[in-house]
């Protein structure tokens, strides 16, 4: 080999080492839309990726960092110190304290998400799905689809034929067979981790409803009768039809936001239930229908609505032994969190009903009418996601699911013009999509805290009055320790991390940043 070749080889090795240190073979193609931080642009020919996570040698750690300043899951390495002076503010790991096990993290394949994904070229679609589900992406494992929502271009159910109590005319629609099912199958094909699908219906067919409309105030007709039996059968038929496409479900919820259907003139699809009505429907109809079907192992989740309803909703439903026997968990949304302190809702509910898991089943930024819908590069929206995830995880929640996987530049399509933001925004006119700060915030959890991880104790030496650090620690199934630290303040914060079995890390959280630390403990 001549000296010229050796020089080129040396340069290539240096580049490879630098990229490996950054945690990806393909860095972010950064675009600045003037909203305070960056998005990463992806196309048919290029998209940023991450290397598979490889735990470092004992006595060392790896750190992934994203920041308002522009870092996106940037990887670095460091070593534990011994006999170092511990700073006043430090976190101490205690793996003897064990809490809930994690189910996972993910998003929703709505009709709108599917439309946007399929508006891209095949290669760009592949990059988008790999970004979410593959080992070179953030490795989502939870996916939430079912029928039409406000994020559809039309209103429909699977059984719109009047009076079809036997559901002889039940059929999936083009939205399923040509859009959502192919996307779910493609996601499964690129995912290393198994995906857990769960379904949430927005409304029953209108002929089953008291108001004869998909929107507005209305519930199921009758009581313990053919309408309730037909609605329970509807769930089973949905699961049957998806199973024909080799798509099986981990769970169903009893219905999306049941309190919405109690609101006069509610503008989106809804089906009203009180907690008493949901309790009786599960005990008499839905629970037995699932138990007596081939889908008896599908979990049933109640509420799927705002946490302000807790613990009351859980007390009404779960104190009935028949209903409770069919239920495995409670689902919550984030839209009214400002009305409901988490310690007075989720924490109390967990201590009242410790055998039932809690899952965060929907969130979206830009949902309030006085806020901009889509903000390309909005760091604060990513921070809001991470704050919600950490707060929920620290109060016994087992999983966190975002709303639409992808939306267009307007935040749609949405038949009712209820536009919102998304971690991925598609510009089909350019065959590109933009990965928002929200995407990378979610990745700090979804990629590094796999299903089966267990939250462990993390004590704080003292309150940090001049900073805004939030944190949570986990023991992963492979024995790794995973620690997530969020700094919502604009000020850099020095702190320490102490693992009594390994040593001490002298750390610094830059202002407006999120970090994930990983290390091995001795066997």
Residue 503 in tokens: 């040593």
- Distance (Å, rounded) from C-alpha 239 to C-alpha 203? 16
269 within 8 A of 149, measured Cβ to Cβ: yes
User: Nearest to residue 131, comparing CAs of 64, 189, 48?
Assistant: 48
- Strand 38-42 to 60-67 pairing: unpaired
Q: Which long-range contacts (CB under 8 A, 24 or more apart) does 121-124 make?
A: 121/44, 121/431, 122/44, 123/44, 123/45, 124/42, 124/43, 124/44, 124/431, 124/432, 124/433
- Distance (Å, rounded) from C-alpha 236 to C-alpha 254? 12
The DSSP call for residue 33 is -
- Secondary structure element (H or E) that encloses residue 269, with its range: none
Active-site annotation holds for 257: yes
- Distance (Å, rounded) from C-alpha 303 to C-alpha 149? 17
For residue 321, what are the contacts with CB-CB under 8 A and spacing of at least 6?
Answer: none
The DSSP call for residue 225 is S
Choose, from 136, 362, 410, 470, the residue flagged as catalytic: 362
Q: Looking up tokens 């936001």, which residue turns up? A: 257
415 within 8 A of 149, measured Cβ to Cβ: no
- Secondary structure element (H or E) that encloses residue 299, with its range: strand 299-306
- Secondary structure element (H or E) that encloses residue 380, with its range: helix 379-393
Cis omega (within 30 of 0) on the bond before 413? yes
- Distance (Å, rounded) from C-alpha 66 to C-alpha 440? 7
Residue 447 in tokens: 């990629």
Choose, from 74, 139, 175, 257, the residue flagged as catalytic: 257
- Distance (Å, rounded) from C-alpha 380 to C-alpha 415? 28
Angle of helix 181-190 relative to helix 111-118, nearest 10 degrees, comes to 70
| 117 SS3 class | helix
- Distance (Å, rounded) from C-alpha 389 to C-alpha 394? 8
199 — alpha (psi -120 to 50), left (phi > 0) or beta? beta
Active-site annotation holds for 362: yes
**Paired residues of 417 in beta bridges:** none
Instruction: Give the residue numbers marked as catalytic.
Output: 257, 362
């Amino acid at each position: 080999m001549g000296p010229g070749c050796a020089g080129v080889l040396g340069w290539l090795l240096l580049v490879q080492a630098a990229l490996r240190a950054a945690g990806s073979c393909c860095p972010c193609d950064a675009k600045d839309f003037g909203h305070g931080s960056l998005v990463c642009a992806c196309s048919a020919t290029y998209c940023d990726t991450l290397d598979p996570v490889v735990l470092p040698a004992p006595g060392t750690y790896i750190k992934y960092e994203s920041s308002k300043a522009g870092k996106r899951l940037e990887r670095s390495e460091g070593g534990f110190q011994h006999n170092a002076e511990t700073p006043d503010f430090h976190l101490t790991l205690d793996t003897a304290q064990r809490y809930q096990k994690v189910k996972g993290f993910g998003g929703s394949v709505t009709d709108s998400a599917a439309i946007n994904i399929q508006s891209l070229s095949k290669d760009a679609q592949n990059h988008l799905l790999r970004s979410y589900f593959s080992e070179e992406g953030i490795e989502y494992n939870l996916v939430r689809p079912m029928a039409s929502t406000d994020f559809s271009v039309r209103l429909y159910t699977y059984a719109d034929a009047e009076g079809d109590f036997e559901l002889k005319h039940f059929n999936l629609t083009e939205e399923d067979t040509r859009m959502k099912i192919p996307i779910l199958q493609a996601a499964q094909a690129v995912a290393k981790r198994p995906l857990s699908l769960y379904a949430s219906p927005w409304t029953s067919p209108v002929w089953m409803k008291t108001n004869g409309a998909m929107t507005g105030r209305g519930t199921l007709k009758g009581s313990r009768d053919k309408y309730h039996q037909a609605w329970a059968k509807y769930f089973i038929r949905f699961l049957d039809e998806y199973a024909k496409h080799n798509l099986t479900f981990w769970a169903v919820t009893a219905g999306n936001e049941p309190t919405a259907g109690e609101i006069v003139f509610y503008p989106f699809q809804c089906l009203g239930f009180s907690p008493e009505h949901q309790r009786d429907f599960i005990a008499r109809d839905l629970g037995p229908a699932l138990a007596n079907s081939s889908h008896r192992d599908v979990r049933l989740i109640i509420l799927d609505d705002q946490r302000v309803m807790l613990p009351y909703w859980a007390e009404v439903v779960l104190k009935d032994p028949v209903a409770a026997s069919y239920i495995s968990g409670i689902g919550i949304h984030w839209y009214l969190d400002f009305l409901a302190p988490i310690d007075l809702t989720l924490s109390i509910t967990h201590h009242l009903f410790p055998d039932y898991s809690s899952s965060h089943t929907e969130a979206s930024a830009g949902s309030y009418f006085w806020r901009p819908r889509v903000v390309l590069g909005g760091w604060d929206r990513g921070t809001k996601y991470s704050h919600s995830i950490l707060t929920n995880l620290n109060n016994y929640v087992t999983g966190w699911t975002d709303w639409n996987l992808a939306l267009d530049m307007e935040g749609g399509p949405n038949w009712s013009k209820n536009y919102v933001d998304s971690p991925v925004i598609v510009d089909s006119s350019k065959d590109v999509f933009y990965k928002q700060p929200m995407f990378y915030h979610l990745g700090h959890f979804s990629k590094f805290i796999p299903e089966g991880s267990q939250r462990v104790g993390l004590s704080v030496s003292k309150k940090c009055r001049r900073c805004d650090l939030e944190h949570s620690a986990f023991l992963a199934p492979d024995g790794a320790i995973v620690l997530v630290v969020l700094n919502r303040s604009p000020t850099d914060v020095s702190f320490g991390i102490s693992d009594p079995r390994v040593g001490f890390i002298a750390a610094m959280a830059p202002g407006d940043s999120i970090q994930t630390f990983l290390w091995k403990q001795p066997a």
